[in-house]
Every structure is written in structure tokens, then in C-alpha cells.
Amino acid sequence: MGRQSRNYAAKAAQSADRHDLIVTGTVWDVVEKNDYLAISCPCGTGPSLRIWSDIKVDRLPDGDPEAQGRLLTSGWCDTHGEEYCAAVLAGKRNREDANNMRQALVSSQMRIAIRKKARAERAARLARRRGLAS
């Protein structure tokens, strides 16, 4: 882990409350590819994407893409926690019960990116119309 990575990890941790886990953008890029980490277990209403929420790591500079992090809002349950931890440590990434959720995660992340890009383009167009940008 490079010096800057450790610094970003420390800043993400400093942005968290006690018992919270916040990951930076690059870490989320890895986490989102692992069903055991990104998608809840099938207990209750079934696998869900609602265990993570978007958060801005306020201790990182504005405009830094790493500041667009994620906050873990749930923990592993007693039924699946040990199994999922062992799977992660063994290098496993995919769960058959999470196929639909994995596809939904990719789609939702793409929709968010498209909305952000469109918003930035609208703002730039408005600024050009007002003569604030070239």
C-alpha cells in the first residue's frame, strides 16, 4: 500500500463515526466486484444492495474522485457472517443467489454516472450561455 493510499484510508476512517466503515472510491471499485462484500445475505427479504450508501469523504479535497466513497450501513448476520468471511478470505467473489443483484448494482452505478455527467453538461451549457465559461 502506497503512502497516499494509507493517507486516504486514514482520512476515510477519520470521517467515520464509531463502528462505521467508509471506503474511498478506489476501494469501492474492488468491493463492488465481490458479492460477499457488496450484497447482503438472503436473510429477511433476500439479497439487497442497501447495505452500502454513498458518502463524500469530507477530509479529502473537493474534486478528488477518491472522496466519492461508500458507507457500510449493515453487518453480516449470525447465520452467514462466518461463511462470508471465510469466502472472502478464500478469494471467492461470486454468489449464485446474488446474480440478479450484481446486475442491478452495475445498472444502478451506470445510471448514477450518466445522471452526474448529464448534470455537469447542463451546468456547463448554462454557464456558457451566461458567458461564464468558454
User: Does residue 129 sit within a domain?
Assistant: no
Identify the CA nearest to 35 among candidates 92, 81, 89, 76.
Answer: 92
Residue 2: predicted pLDDT:
52
The amino acid at 12: A
Where in the sequence is the domain holding 66, given as residue range(s)? 3-95
**Would you give the distance in Å from CA 86 to the centre of its chain?**
22
Distance CA 66, CA 4 (A): 11
pLDDT at 14: 87
Q: Is residue 77 part of a domain?
A: yes
Give per-residue pLDDT as tens, 90-99: 999 999 888 8
* Structural domain total, the chain: 1
Q: Is residue 44 part of a domain?
A: yes
In a domain, 37, yes or no: yes
Is position 83 within any domain? yes
- For the segment 71-83, the average pLDDT, to the nearest whole number, is 92
Lowest mean pLDDT among 4-18, 30-44, 62-76: 4-18
Across 5-9, 54-58, 83-87, 118-122, the highest mean pLDDT is recorded for 83-87
Q: Does 134 fall in a domain?
A: no
pTM for this one?
0.70
In a domain, 128, yes or no: no
Is residue 89, in this structure, part of any structural domain at all?
yes
